[in-house]
Amino acid sequence: MPAVLLFSACMDNADEPNTEDFIITSPTSIGETNYSIAQLKEDKSSLFTQTNAFEQIEEDLIIEGVVAANDAGGNLYQTILLRDIDETAGTDQAIVLGIKNTWLCPYFPLGQRVKVNLKNLYVGCYSKLPKIGQPYYTSSGNLRLGAMLIQHCATNVELVGTPDPTCPECQPKTLDIQWLRASANKNYMNYPMLVTISGTMKEADGEAIFAPEELQDAGYGVDRTLSVKEGNLSTSVTVRTSTQNAVAFTVMPTDERAYTGLLSYYDSWQIQLRGVDDISPAVQ
């Protein structure tokens, strides 16, 4: 994360950069919403039930959602979580929008409503995570669904209204141990999702940080274990943290805390915190 504190004391309002002319999304309407994230997941269930699969959309299918997670804290890379709550239809669904840019949050702040025309983009899953983006070749030569090129934002993505971080879509769901242990919940209709889970970090000793570089894997991240207990029941959730952000260098709390972030499922439940502020007193 860029170091800006050194200069902040010297800046006044006149020094703040004007970024209004540096939009990356469509300046005009991309069309009316005619589809939903819930419909997409239902119609493409054969994709989302696989580990790595994707296909290109050839129709003008326009979905809408609210930014519930972004890369402001540095732990979500080229990732935006779009969430759509439709009270009339009784649906609450989310999907990851991958965009190839190193700093997305100035353009996609929390609470910002976004429309996406899926035509010419790819939908599917990366390691079981439902996603919108483009395929790319990994260093091992495998074709995977990654982030779409930023130039597609100008033709396929539109911002709607102004950000409202207090909106329902930005409020995480609190998950208890019964929900986490239920096998029926481990399906693509329940992730990605913005959630809060209370527990204790297994590896915490008062000095260990979340993601030291010496422990990073091939994905430049570190997995830690959040132990969740209630009465005689127990389970665990993987806390995934990349090594170059403020969360990575934060000392893991030794007491029970509430952790908020993007929930996904691989071999087990996994959560990625958006930033340091996603660690708070435990939910009672």
- String of DSSP letters for 44-105: THHHHTSSEEEEE--S--EEEEEEEE-STTSSSTTEEEEEEEETTTTEEEEEEEEEE-S--T
- Topology of the domain comprising 24-165: OB fold (Dihydrolipoamide Acetyltransferase, E2P) (2.40.50)
The pLDDT assigned to 3 comes to 39
Cα within 13 Å of Cα(216), Cβ side: 14
Residue 79: the pLDDT is: 96
**Cα–Cα distance between 9 and 13 in angstroms, integer?**
11
pLDDT at 283: 76
Q: Which residues in the chain show pLDDT less than 50?
A: 1-15, 17-19
Alpha-carbon gap, residue 24 to 155, rounded angstroms: 9
pLDDT at position 268 is 94
Q: Which CATH class is domain 173-281?
A: mainly beta
Q: Are 82 and 35 in contact (CB under 8 A)?
A: no
Sign of CA dihedral 31, 77, 179, 41: positive
End-to-end CA distance of the chain: 33
Domain boundaries in the chain? 24-165, 173-281
Q: Whole-angstrom Cα distance, residue 57 to residue 122?
A: 6
pLDDT of residue 21: 59
